[in-house]
Copies of this chain bind each other. A is one copy, B any other.
Amino acid sequence: MLNIRPATDRDRDAIWKIFHEVIAAGDTYGFEPEMSREEALAYWFRADTYTYVAECEGEIAGTYILRANQQGPGSHVSNAAFMVVPDARGQGIGRAMGEHCLGEAQRLGFRAMQFNFVVSTNASAVRLWKQLGFKVVGTLPGAFRHPERGYVDVYVMFRSLTR
């Protein structure tokens, strides 16, 4: 049973553990692999950000954030980012968080959701977002330096939340 809920300060250790593992791998996010705990948590818990965790049998299995992608005349488009514990992948936790996130974004009144930086080689993420209704609306040529594959393309993905 997966319980997705707003994160609290008591989740900070678990979130940092996931965050660190994900960015240290260096194959999915545009963050410094050596980013400090302090910086990472400041980013994940930024004042304008909704932060969630996915809990499974008392353990944090994933976390996501939801925020406006731009301010002012761009603030009706949301942005989100997701991280799943490496050992817990392939169990639908990313999908459950994605669906939860779309619901939260609608509840908060956002008209759309945009992912700015989906690495094209991250096939499971690209597939999942397409299944959840996102389209690739942009391709950034060679915008990601993959640890094994060198410079690879990055997708901008977008989904309307209105009918």
Residues of B within 8 A of A30 (CB): 69-75
When all copies of this chain in the complex are counted, the total is: 2
Shortest beta-carbon distance, A142 to chain B, in Å? Answer: 7
Residues of B within 8 A of A116 (CB): 116
Which residues 115-130 in A have Cβ within 8 Å of B in the complex? 116-117
Shortest beta-carbon distance, A154 to chain B, in Å? Answer: 7
Interface check A3, CB cutoff 8 A = no
Shortest beta-carbon distance, A48 to chain B, in Å? Answer: 11
Q: By the criterion CB–CB under 8 Å, are B73 and A146 in contact?
A: yes
What are 24 inter-chain pairs, A to B, with CB distance below 8 A? Answer: A23-B72, A29-B72, A30-B71, A32-B71, A35-B71, A35-B72, A70-B117, A70-B143, A73-B144, A73-B145, A73-B146, A74-B117, A74-B145, A76-B151, A112-B141, A112-B142, A112-B143, A116-B116, A138-B138, A138-B140, A138-B156, A141-B158, A141-B160, A143-B158
Nearest 8 interchain pairs by C-beta? A138-B138, A30-B70, A30-B74, A32-B72, A73-B145, A138-B156, A32-B71, A31-B72
Q: What 6 additional pairs, Cβ within 8 angstroms, besides A29-B72, A73-B144?
A: A31-B72, A73-B146, A74-B144, A76-B145, A137-B141, A141-B158
